């Protein structure tokens, strides 16, 4: 509980001090009191972080996402945002900062004060420690259903200046699957830059059940490269993708998968694999 909440219940600061000295309660920063003496839960730390920030404080970025139900994502310190000009009570336990991006319209309608998932996800990407973590945060919130790619796109358009602005826009485009054709163009352009042979694009193939298109195909070298948007990782598409890939392997083609997120973050590793596969299929680089 916050100190003002306890004072409102008629508990004095001297009574709080006595309970703390008796090791029944413990202080959390200078604004919160934990009413037991065991380890605090993450939810307790979330509330303590907000109390430490003041009356208009809210969890923000990854901390807001975790409070809203995001799984498989951790933070070292909870991030709290307060408006520009607000008093900032410094704390070694929590990351409390003023931000020009703070608006009341961005807050979730209920629960612990926090920014809405789409807002929090974009900010988590901007504040991430690496590009990889930024992409992971944006991808995870859509996969876990906390928000949609469309809402992320609306928030991404609010970014005016930031070093990750392009990365956020590209990742959201991938999540919308609007970058599929652009991704193929990027791959073909990069193949040319690296001196690799050009593939045939959108080749029609048929198996016993369906017909489908191959993204990139080198018939002479029996190599297929599938450029995957984020939708390929969803359960509704995994089975179809596996059946298509198995059909190609049965027909003696080799299949490499190139996720668009991988193209953004580790292009060299994937293009090295493509070159290795072409060489294994009989291609030789000109002397």
Is the domain of 139 the same as that of 105?
yes
Euclidean distance between CA atoms 70 and 145, whole angstroms: 9
pLDDT at res. 235: 45
Look up the domain containing 16 and give its range. Answer: 1-40
Q: Say if residue 232's pLDDT is above 50.
A: no
Note the residue count of the chain.
Answer: 287
Choose one of 175, 204, 219: the last residue of a domain. Answer: 175
| Pair (259, 148) in one structural domain | no
Note whether residue 88 is domain-resident: yes
What's the CA gap between 278 and 280, in Å, rounded?
Answer: 5
23 and 65 in a single domain? The answer is no
Q: Is the pLDDT of residue 236 over 50?
A: no
Give the number of C-alpha atoms closer than 13 A to the C-alpha of residue 105, restricted to the C-beta side. 2
pTM: 0.68
| Overall average pLDDT of the 264-276 stretch | 88
Same-domain pairing of 210 and 223: yes
End residue of a domain, out of 175, 204, 235: 175
- Asked whether residue 205 carries a pLDDT value surpassing 90, the answer given is no
* Domain match, 93 and 167 both: yes
Report whether pLDDT(194) > 70.
yes
Q: What is the percent of the chain where pLDDT is above 90?
A: 53
* Residue 285 placed within a domain: no
CA 230 vs CA 136, 139, 236: distances in Å: 11, 8, 12
pLDDT score for 241: 66
Residue 229 pLDDT class (50, 70, 90 cuts): low
Confirm whether 286 is domain-assigned.
Answer: no
Domain count, the chain: 3
Lowest mean pLDDT among 81-85, 87-91, 159-163: 87-91
**Position with higher pLDDT, 16 vs 198:** 16
For residue 234, pLDDT over 50 is answered with no
């Amino acid at each position: 509980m916050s100190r003002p909440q306890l004072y409102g219940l008629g508990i004095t600061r001297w009574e709080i001090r006595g309970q703390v000295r008796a090791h029944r309660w413990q202080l959390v920063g200078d604004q919160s009191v934990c009413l037991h003496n065991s380890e605090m839960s993450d939810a307790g730390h979330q509330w303590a972080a907000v109390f430490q920030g003041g009356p208009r404080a809210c969890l923000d970025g990854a901390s807001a996402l975790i409070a809203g139900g995001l799984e498989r994502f951790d933070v070292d310190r909870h991030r709290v945002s307060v408006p520009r000009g607000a008093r900032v009570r410094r704390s070694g336990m929590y990351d409390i900062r003023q931000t020009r991006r703070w608006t009341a319209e961005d807050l979730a309608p209920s629960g612990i004060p926090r920014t809405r998932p789409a807002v929090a996800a974009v900010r988590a990407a901007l504040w991430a420690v690496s590009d990889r973590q930024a992409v992971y945060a944006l991808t995870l919130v859509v996969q876990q259903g906390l928000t949609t790619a469309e809402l992320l796109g609306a928030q991404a358009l609010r970014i005016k200046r930031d070093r990750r602005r392009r990365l956020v826009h590209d990742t959201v485009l991938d999540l919308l699957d609007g970058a599929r054709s652009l991704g193929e163009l990027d791959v073909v352009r990069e193949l040319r830059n690296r001196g690799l042979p050009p593939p045939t694009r959108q080749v029609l193939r048929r198996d016993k059940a369906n017909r489908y298109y191959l993204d990139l195909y080198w018939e002479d070298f029996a190599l297929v490269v599938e450029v995957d948007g984020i939708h390929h990782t969803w359960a509704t598409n995994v089975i179809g993708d596996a059946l298509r890939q198995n059909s190609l392997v049965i027909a003696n083609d080799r299949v490499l998968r190139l996720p668009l997120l991988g193209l953004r973050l580790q292009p060299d590793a994937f293009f090295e694999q493509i070159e290795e596969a072409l060489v294994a299929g009989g291609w030789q680089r000109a002397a």
